[in-house]
Structure 1
């Protein structure tokens, strides 16, 4: 979508001239002749830039600018002024205008000014989108705002409204079913059933019945007709977890069902049809399974339309703390316990642990703590194995050492002054004195980093983008760090 520029100019002849200047520029150029028309235009569709004449038939340009600022429109304003009103234009800059341009406006000056302000507006919009992205801590059952999870959220946003098949893969406990549910509840099928089947937990001889159902007498114990997941999920979503665990013969029947939308219940003779969306998941590498003959290649290409890789918990940074805090409050409320937060050293242990069981393991750890203890803060002593073992997180403490002064084998007699001077030197450089003096002046690197970044942001009047440029960092890095600090402060409050 093209950016929009609104010219507020009561002279139709000048407006035609300015339009001619910018006719080949890559933005939409609109023109109104009064302040009232400008306000109505901006109410319906705020432009990225307004070129505002000061003298209008119904009101002054100052009035239009005041309305824009009162309604907090995110629109840049260039004041168009005649030579005699430059002082007024300067005052308007102090009142919120972004620039002024002197009449008569030259073509190059107009195009350059518009181009620069639109570029700035686009950049500010990208930064705002980035801020909104990093502020998305909760999303459709997920908790976390790390970059890997933001990538997952974006794919879900894109694929959910479509009918495309989705293949989710990742380690056990990373939230593959939560992802499938998020896709379902973001889709047009959200008011229809979501049916999940774990292909690795169902005996092979019952798999066909679980998915397609059976008729009475189909096998021993089949005393009545039974609908399978394919019919129960009609109109909605069928989630097949651990698809690579399904035996090859059943994979063949599933492939036919996916191609035709039709199936026959076990023991039945009548073919049925259903309308549903298939989402599959596995904790294995599907291509490896194909190459080793355990997963049909044609089925793989049928279901592997939009892949989503769920990141392991160890790669999600401070999401670990957010998830732990969520479970802590949840279980403390359920069990009527006092827990409200995690101690800082506990957070460090959680963030440095490898989490082979991912979110499911973290959930069980927090459940264990809440059940067995009842204090306001989780401490290291509350953590069960293996997190309470010293080798879980190597804590490296900086140590100040000094090499002992070796006495020479033969010492020459010293004068009284030399003895006093040496005594002062020895005392000043002794291990105890050195340690005491320097330890007091040493601060954690994280504190220094935060202070430097905050000073840069303050220096730039809160503009994180400018601060990032000064610090030679990417804006996303600064936003992540600010977010982590704010999250930690919120958890402490």
Structure 2
């Protein structure tokens, strides 16, 4: 993708000659004759580098530079002037200009200055990306189970096709954000930002401004303009976690953006075009939400271009011990403890437990065990009580050696029922009638159990 250069000069001959010359250097070029047209082009064209004449007819280039930086801080500004003086140059640099060229202009010199500006812009984005990465704890994608290997193949295909919208589905704690991070980091967008937002954690009245940004005075308290996540993630990836919780009015705006790739800030008149990939994730049954008029059907089909379904941890048993060992190594290093691993009985219990909280719950369990114990081998007595009392996943076995103090038969039978009900509902995509048929019970019996266990 060619880099974009915007030329701002009130002399048409200069604009045309610079445009023709820069096209030969394989830049995408746009021009503007004054500040008003320049601001419009900054919004619509999204330039990487701006060549700005210091003296326009009735305008000061420094004022225009300041306005541009308020809109897009990543845009690199190169000042052009026939009246070079040190004081003006210093002022321009303070306002964010990266270079200062004296007229008459030399194309080779301009190209060199633009190349320097582009490198500087890339460094700024990489620094921001590094800061984002450092702020987050990174976990590897671990999945040797056949289901996960199939998922990994799909993830690799999606990474290569970096314009395709992705929808990741799965229970809470299955690792949807790790999947999204894997896709981003293995795509051509990896050197740009990946930003995340939990749509369920932000009040609906704030979510719109968080996504789309706003202009100064757009509403009470908007004392300055603000870029939204769509704008900040330009060139990269935006991860919308729990997107099933997005309010209907914002769903409409999101759908329009996915169709056109442009949007307006709240209170704004200019359309802003960005190039980014949307990856959404949800544990909600969107088909059921559509029936209930809680989710737009057209948005669902627009998001569901390539779905990825992550199975719950209990259905990929061969991965449980590998993931547990991975977290054991992480927390042993963090807390400076020396652990060899798990005893055979502890391993069996980890495999027997149904893991309602999935990978997130497993991570928390291992962290707790590392904090509370110093033995090299973690045994069954070091497990949390809810894991020590777990019976085999197979309800027809009688694991006499696993019964520990505080064991509750009623609780364990309830857990087995809950596990099968969840699995049946997943298979039936939330349809209660079909789930009841899978379980071999009546719909009324299923309803009673749902009320008992989940309300």
Specify the TM-score bucket, using the shorter chain as the normaliser. Answer: 0.5 to 0.7
SS across alignment from 2:160 = coil
Tell me, yes or no, if the aligned pair for 2:353 and 2:391 is still in contact at 8 Å. no
Alignment of 1:302-381 (within 5 A): 302-381=302-381
C-alpha distance in 2, partners of 1:316/1:213? 41
Look up the match of 1:195.
195
SS across alignment from 1:268 = coil
SS across alignment from 1:279 = strand
SS across alignment from 1:318 = helix
C-alpha distance in 2, partners of 1:264/1:390? 54
Tell me, yes or no, if the aligned pair for 1:174 and 1:310 is still in contact at 8 Å. yes
Question: How far 1:388 moved relative to its partner?
Answer: 2.1
Look up the match of 1:155.
154
C-alpha distance in 2, partners of 1:271/1:284? 32
Look up the match of 1:300.
300
C-alpha distance in 2, partners of 1:235/1:326? 33
C-alpha distance in 2, partners of 1:270/1:259? 17
C-alpha distance in 2, partners of 1:296/1:285? 13
Look up the match of 1:480.
none
Alignment of 1:38-187 (within 5 A): 141-162=140-161, 163-187=163-187
Q: Which runs of 5+ in 1 are unaligned?
A: 1-138, 400-493
C-alpha distance in 1, partners of 2:139/2:325? 18
Tell me, yes or no, if the aligned pair for 2:239 and 2:278 is still in contact at 8 Å. yes
Tell me, yes or no, if the aligned pair for 2:237 and 2:278 is still in contact at 8 Å. yes
C-alpha distance in 2, partners of 1:269/1:194? 27
C-alpha distance in 2, partners of 1:339/1:154? 33
Runs of 4+ in 1 over 4 A off after TM superposition: 390-395
Question: How far 1:271 moved relative to its partner?
Answer: 1.8
How big is the alpha-carbon RMSD for the aligned residues of Structure 1 and Structure 2? 2.0
C-alpha distance in 2, partners of 1:396/1:172? 31
Structure showing greater Rg? 1
Question: How far 1:180 moved relative to its partner?
Answer: 0.8
Alignment of 1:397-412 (within 5 A): none
1:197-221 superposed Cα distances (whole Å, 9 cap, x missing partner):
1111110000111101112222333
Tell me, yes or no, if the aligned pair for 1:212 and 1:263 is still in contact at 8 Å. yes
Question: How far 1:149 moved relative to its partner?
Answer: 0.7
Look up the match of 2:239.
239
Tell me, yes or no, if the aligned pair for 1:329 and 1:340 is still in contact at 8 Å. no
Tell me, yes or no, if the aligned pair for 1:328 and 1:340 is still in contact at 8 Å. no
Question: How far 1:397 moved relative to its partner?
Answer: 5.6
1:430-459 superposed Cα distances (whole Å, 9 cap, x missing partner):
xxxxxxxxxxxxxxxxxxxxxxxxxxxxxx
Look up the match of 2:446.
none
Tell me, yes or no, if the aligned pair for 1:195 and 1:233 is still in contact at 8 Å. yes
C-alpha distance in 2, partners of 1:244/1:384? 33
Q: 1:390 to 1:282 in 2, by over 3 A?
A: closer
Q: 1:369 to 1:398 in 2, by over 3 A?
A: closer
Tell me, yes or no, if the aligned pair for 1:164 and 1:305 is still in contact at 8 Å. yes
Q: 1:370 to 1:252 in 2, by over 3 A?
A: same
C-alpha distance in 2, partners of 1:178/1:390? 28
Look up the match of 1:270.
270
Is 1:257 the equivalent of 2:261?
no
Look up the match of 2:45.
none
- Between stretches 220-229 and 311-320, larger displacement belongs to 220-229
Question: How far 1:398 moved relative to its partner?
Answer: 8.6
C-alpha distance in 2, partners of 1:176/1:167? 10
Look up the match of 1:227.
227
1:267-315 superposed Cα distances (whole Å, 9 cap, x missing partner):
2222211111111111012211112111101101111110100011001
Question: How far 1:338 moved relative to its partner?
Answer: 2.2
Q: 1:186 to 1:351 in 2, by over 3 A?
A: same
C-alpha distance in 2, partners of 1:211/1:398? 55
C-alpha distance in 2, partners of 1:207/1:366? 34
Question: How far 1:239 moved relative to its partner?
Answer: 1.0
Q: Which runs of 5+ in 2 are unaligned?
A: 1-137, 402-455
Tell me, yes or no, if the aligned pair for 1:386 and 1:392 is still in contact at 8 Å. no
C-alpha distance in 2, partners of 1:236/1:198? 18
Question: How far 1:336 moved relative to its partner?
Answer: 1.0
- Between stretches 357-366 and 232-241, larger displacement belongs to 232-241
Question: How far 1:175 moved relative to its partner?
Answer: 0.7
Look up the match of 1:37.
none
C-alpha distance in 1, partners of 2:348/2:399? 14
Look up the match of 1:396.
398
Tell me, yes or no, if the aligned pair for 2:234 and 2:275 is still in contact at 8 Å. yes
Tell me, yes or no, if the aligned pair for 1:235 and 1:276 is still in contact at 8 Å. yes
Tell me, yes or no, if the aligned pair for 1:337 and 1:375 is still in contact at 8 Å. no
C-alpha distance in 2, partners of 1:363/1:175? 11
Q: 1:313 to 1:306 in 2, by over 3 A?
A: same
C-alpha distance in 2, partners of 1:331/1:374? 12
C-alpha distance in 2, partners of 1:267/1:201? 24
